[in-house]
Amino acid sequence: MNENEIETDYLLKNLNICDNKEEKMWLTNAKKRFEMFYQEVREQPLSSLIRAMEIKCRRLQPIFPQFFEIRWRYVTANVGSCFLIKDVGIFVINIPLSIKGKEFEIRNLVAHEIGHLYSTVVSLEREYFSEKGEFIGDVGESLKFLRDCLNSENLDKEKTESYHKRATMIGIFALNERSKFYKHRMPLNERSFCKSFRQIADDFKRW
């Protein structure tokens, strides 16, 4: 038996609900439903990087709105891309359908596109924010700067190449950090990361 297989009886006993039919039923249904939900969790590429980038942008007031969001989606086109809407409320990463299921390729692409946003945002901070993080520029001018840097449709060849390489550099940094985590931190914390179902259930006793 897999040591991470959910043991219903063990859990019921742990939670002192062996005789509660309603809770038993809820647990049985929740187990299946949660497995389905967790499939979606697994499909989120670089979700912590995306979330951290959203928070970084939201802090840059008054340039990004409080509800700034990064989304990703599959497209039929053969090339990956990213779009930033004019009022900079949403950043969309387009992933070609042809790489669906290819985890590494998807991760590389998402890291590259986030790299585009990151490198532009860092330049924006340097140009229009003080060291303390206060906005010291003109809103219209800084919005134009942000939009222009992310728009390869209007950039010259030299700048397109330069921004593209910067995005790749950031993408490499991001995946390298991720790799460092798995390579070094994982083995060090193996005991807390790789617990069996029973150990996890026991840990939850205090809650």
Answer yes or no whether residue 80 interacts with other proteins by CB under 8 A: yes
Residue with tokens 């409080």: 66
Q: Is residue 102 at the binding interface for other proteins, with CB under 8 A as the rule? A: no
CA 59 to chain centroid, in Å, comes to 17
Q: Does 81 bind other proteins (CB under 8 A)?
A: yes
Based on the number of CB atoms within 10 Å of its own CB, is 172 exposed (0-12), middle (13-18) or buried (19 or more)? middle
| Residue 123 within binding range of other proteins, rule CB under 8 A | no
Q: Using CB under 8 A, which of the segments 7-15, 111-119, 131-139, 175-183 binds other proteins?
A: 111-119
Contact criterion met (CB below 8 Å) for 79 and 18: no
Angle 103-104-110 (CA atoms, 0-180°, nearest 5)?
90
- Give the residue, chosen from 10, 83, 182, 193, that forms a contact with other proteins under the rule CB under 8 A: 83
Indicate whether 65 belongs to the interface with other proteins (CB under 8 A).
yes
Which residue in 24, 56, 164, 195 binds other proteins (CB under 8 A)?
164
CA distance 57 to 197: 38
| Cα separation, 147 vs 85, whole angstroms | 9
Q: Which is nearer to other proteins, 15 or 99 (CB)?
A: 99
Q: How many residues interact with other proteins (rule CB under 8 A)?
A: 41
Please identify, using beta-carbon distances, which residue of 9 and 153 lies nearer to other proteins. Answer: 153
Q: Indicate the residue among 18 and 85 with the shorter CB distance to other proteins.
A: 85
Could you tell me the CA-to-CA distances from 194 to 104, 185, 198, 199, 200 in Å, in that order? 23, 12, 12, 10, 10
DSSP-derived 3-state class of residue 83? strand
CA 120 to chain centre: 18
Is residue 45 a contact residue for other proteins (CB under 8 A)? no
Candidate residues 153, 156, 206, 207; the one interacting with other proteins per rule CB under 8 A: 153
Binding window for other proteins (CB under 8 A); candidates: 17-25, 131-139, 163-171, 186-194: 163-171
Q: What letter represents residue 81's amino acid?
A: S
Helix H or strand E encompassing 123: helix 103-128
Q: Would you tell me which residues interact with other proteins (CB under 8 A)?
A: 65-67, 69, 71, 73, 75-87, 89-90, 92, 94, 109, 112-113, 116, 146-153, 157, 160-161, 163-164, 167
